[in-house]
């Protein structure tokens, strides 16, 4: 087994951020309704929660990519 830490990623703006931290920041910035308006996913529209959204986003790469892209756009403001 390789116990060495992963190499640093200085050009990756998401490096060191968890999906939970990204989602929490977006909900704080836009609210669930605003988030659903920007990314129309059922997990943001029907009874949204961090836990259920994380479960869906971890299993759905295209949706996770959309959330990460929105986060990056939000942080550039």
* pLDDT of the residue at 15: 78
Virtual torsion, Cα 47, 75, 16, 38, nearest 10 deg: 30
Q: What is the pLDDT of residue 16?
A: 80
Of 1 and 49, the structure prediction assigns the larger pLDDT to: 49
pTM of the model: 0.81
Residue pointed to by tokens 């949706």 = 63
CATH architecture, domain defined by 19-75? Orthogonal Bundle (1.10)
Q: In the chain, where are the structural domains located? A: 19-75
Structure confidence by residue, pLDDT tens digits, 16-65 = 889 999 999 999 999 999 999 999 999 999 999 999 999 999 999 999 99
pLDDT band per the 50, 70, 90 thresholds, residue 11: confident
């Amino acid at each position: 087994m390789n116990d060495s830490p992963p190499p640093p990623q200085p050009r990756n703006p998401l490096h060191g951020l968890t999906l939970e931290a990204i989602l929490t920041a977006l909900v704080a910035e836009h609210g669930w309704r605003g988030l659903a308006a920007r990314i129309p996913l059922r997990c943001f529209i029907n009874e949204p929660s961090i836990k259920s959204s994380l479960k869906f986003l971890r299993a759905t790469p295209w949706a996770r990519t959309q959330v990460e892209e929105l986060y990056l756009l939000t942080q550039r403001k």
